[in-house]
Amino acid sequence: MKSHPTLDNTDLNLMIFTNCNVPFRNLLSTTTMVIYYTQHKNTVMEKLLGIRSKTFAMDVDASNGYFTCMNTNTKYSIDSILDAQWTDEKYLKLRIQHNGTIVKQTLVFESHMDLSCFLMELGLQPAVNKKNGHVRHGSYSDTNYTAPRHYRRSIYSTILIFDTHGQVLGHVHCSSMTERFYGFRYEIFGKNDDIVAAIKDKAVRNGCFGWVQISSFDSVVGEIRCNKIQGQSTHKWLKATWQSQVFVYDSTKIRFHFTSFRHLDPSRRTCFTTPPHSCNGTRVNTERDEL
């Protein structure tokens, strides 16, 4: 039986890892946070309550999706999300498998926006209450689920290090939402159910939010929002595959945001005042300001 590497808890209390470049000053509540690191399933090695957390940026080998543990120089790979549960109280419980090791963790987010961003980076689709912007409770469980490629092979990875003496080990440089996401509106000239199916399949495989629809002008229209890498890739794929017009949102935010990528009924009014997919039906090549 293959042995799994262990952490020397004289040096570290706990190691948590993620590729989500969320501003960590807003991510964790150190007074209510409960996290478990387990070497094997149901074997709790560490239980930390209300300790002071510090952050430390680590490099990742983008060719194989590995990161290197600072103290042991042992390589771990993030392989799959076993299950996840989140609530409208901004709690997220994760059970992640890497190299045969099970990691359980509960994160407490300071804002619903941070929780929503984090779920998107994991390839999960949170439902958002339109009235108050809160993330509704949800869950995901699939032992055969493989994390999206951008999750397993992210160029940027962050490791949270919990030092026994509360020593500052380093800092994570925070980034804005526009640096993490990529959103755009599109219109493809030509009515074709195969186009709709291809776009939906591409969006789902890339972990994108958004929608697709056959418009009243017999064109295929919609919006797509993904992480930066997958968003740009999807944009290039769409432009290279069909005659289309694309408008990239400066804010990355799309107008219609669903819990999963949707194929909308043609009768639903979704048009905009400016191209692409303009209400008056005019189609010009000039891009205008976002609504």
pLDDT score, position 5: 32
- For the ranges 57-66, 145-154, 198-207, 258-267, the maximum mean pLDDT occurs at 198-207
- For the ranges 10-14, 270-274, 276-280, the maximum mean pLDDT occurs at 270-274
pLDDT bin (cut points 50, 70, 90) of residue 206 is confident
- The pLDDT of residue 184 is above 70: yes
For the segment 120-126, the average pLDDT, to the nearest whole number, is 61
Lowest-confidence pick of 118-127, 217-226, 233-242? 118-127
- DSSP, collapsed to helix, strand or coil, labels residue 158 as strand
Q: Which residues contact 287 (CB under 8 A, 6 or more apart)?
A: 247, 275
pLDDT score, position 251: 85
Separation of CA 72 from chain center? 29
Q: Which residues contact 286 (CB under 8 A, 6 or more apart)?
A: 275
Strands, E assignment, 10-112? 12-18, 34-38, 44-49, 54-58, 60-61, 66-68, 75-77, 80-86, 91-98, 101-108
For the segment 199-218, the average pLDDT, to the nearest whole number, is 87
Q: How many CB atoms lie within 10 A of CB 22?
A: 23
* Best CA proximity match to 183, nearest among 117, 279, 280: 117
Give phi and psi for 130, each to the nearest 5. -65, -25
pLDDT digits (tens, 9 = 90+) for 16-34: 333 333 232 222 322 222 2
Lowest-confidence pick of 117-131, 151-165, 245-259? 151-165
* Best CA proximity match to 255, nearest among 276, 238, 240: 276
pLDDT score, position 22: 29
Q: How many CB atoms lie within 10 A of CB 271?
A: 17
pTM value is 0.42
pLDDT bin (cut points 50, 70, 90) of residue 109 is low
Angle (CA) 288 128 176, round 5° = 55
Lowest-confidence pick of 3-7, 103-107, 116-120, 173-177? 3-7
Largest CA distance in the chain: 67
Exposed e or buried b per residue across 94-122, where buried means at least 16 C-beta atoms within 10 angstroms of its C-beta: bbbbbeebbbbbebbbeebbbbbbbbbbb
pLDDT score, position 81: 57
Percent of the chain with pLDDT over 70: 36
- The pLDDT of residue 185 is above 90: yes
8's tokens: 């020397």
In the chain, what are the domains? Answer: 12-163 (no CATH), 178-263 (3.30.70.100)
pLDDT score, position 148: 42
Phi-psi map region of 90: left, alpha, beta (phi>0 left; psi -120 to 50 alpha): left
pLDDT score, position 45: 22
β-strands 262-263, 209-214 pairing: parallel
For the segment 227-250, the average pLDDT, to the nearest whole number, is 90
E strand or H helix at 239: helix 228-241
